């Protein structure tokens, strides 16, 4: 029987690529989304992957959503925490709401989803959790104190939860993408984007499928000895 995987923010961009790759690798995938019904419907029609709508930043909604997925598809054995938003601005311009929304969804969503899925994984003695961080959580980024803080928090969350899961066969890892050719990056002004690409040693933006391949490895049987790690997929832009 195929293992069930949930991918949050799984109908667009990097999340959609991850959902498709996991399906190709034999998982039964549920793609979570929060807002765009038309895009979600089109994604399901194109891929055959069911889409489930809830806000991962809402604790009760996340618990109810995971319960529904488990009832319809089976026990959740893989969780990919990919959902994220940006509310950019320097701290002098950033509102408390901008801060709160990004922390609640990007970092709080990881807690809410893990809270729903981790106990069952521990009980069944097998699980994979992959949290999508960011190069900007590692190196910081001007105008993103909220996003950088949330993504940096994901890396600490990953290491701590990995220690809880290790003896139960539950691995917890993170991937830190660099600048990937998605709608979010496409919204960056062209002159700014040129400067970003100039700082990437391989000389190009990454592709969503390249992140998806990394996630697929960490979710597979062969990655059982990898836990508490962060895989940086950034074209050499940030090394440490």
Q: What is the pLDDT of residues 96-125, one digit of tens each?
A: 999 999 999 999 999 999 999 999 999 999
- Surface-to-core class of residue 192, CB atoms within 10 Å of its CB (0-12 exposed, 13-18 middle, 19+ buried): exposed
pLDDT(230) > 80: yes
According to DSSP, the residues that pair with 129 across neighbouring strands are 79, 172
- Closest listed residue to residue 10, CA positions, set 84, 70, 63: 84
Token representation of residue 16 = 């959609």
What is the C-alpha separation between 144 and 38, in angstroms, rounded? 29
Neighbours of 49 (CB within 10 A): 22
- Strands laid side by side in the 28-33 sheet: 51-53, 28-33, 4-7, 76-81, 127-132, 170-177, 230-233
Confidence of residue 183 (pLDDT cuts 50, 70, 90): confident
pLDDT(184) > 80: no
Confidence of residue 186 (pLDDT cuts 50, 70, 90): confident
The mean of the pLDDT values for the chain is 96
Neighbours of 94 (CB within 10 A): 17
Whole-number percent of the chain with pLDDT over 70: 100
For the residues 37-63, what does the mean pLDDT come to? 98
Catalytic amino acids?
147
The structural domains of the chain, ordered by start, are: 4-233 (3.40.50.720)
Q: List phi, psi (to 5°) of 173.
A: -135, 170
According to DSSP, the residues that pair with 128 across neighbouring strands are 78, 171
pLDDT, position 189: 85
pLDDT, position 149: 98
pTM comes to 0.96
pLDDT(79) > 80: yes
Neighbours of 77 (CB within 10 A): 21
Tens of pLDDT, residue by residue over 81-97, are 999 999 999 999 999 99
pLDDT, position 150: 97
pLDDT(29) > 90: yes
């Amino acid at each position: 029987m195929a293992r069930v995987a949930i991918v949050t923010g799984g109908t667009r961009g990097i999340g959609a690529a991850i959902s498709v790759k996991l399906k190709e690798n034999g998982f039964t995938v549920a793609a979570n989304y929060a807002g765009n019904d038309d895009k979600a419907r089109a994604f399901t029609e194109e891929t055959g992957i069911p889409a489930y709508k809830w806000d991962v930043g809402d604790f009760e909604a996340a618990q109810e959503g995971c319960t529904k997925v488990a009832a319809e598809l089976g026990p959740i054995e893989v969780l990919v925490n990919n959902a994220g938003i940006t509310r950019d601005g320097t701290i002098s311009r950033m509102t408390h709401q901008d801060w709160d929304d990004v922390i609640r969804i990007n970092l709080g969503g990881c807690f809410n989803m893990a809270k729903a899925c981790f106990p069952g994984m521990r009980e069944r003695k097998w699980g994979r959790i992959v949290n999508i961080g960011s190069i900007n959580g590692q190196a910081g980024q001007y105008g993103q104190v909220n996003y950088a803080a949330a993504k940096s928090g994901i890396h600490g969350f990953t290491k701590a939860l990995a220690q809880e899961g290790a003896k139960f066969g539950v691995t917890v890892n993170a991937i830190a993408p660099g600048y990937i050719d998605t709608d979010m990056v496409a919204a960056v002004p062209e002159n700014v984007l040129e400067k970003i690409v100039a700082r990437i040693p391989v000389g190009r933006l990454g592709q969503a499928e390249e992140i998806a391949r990394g996630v697929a490895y960490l979710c597979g049987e062969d990655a059982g000895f990898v836990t508490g790690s962060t895989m940086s997929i950034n074209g050499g832009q940030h090394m440490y």
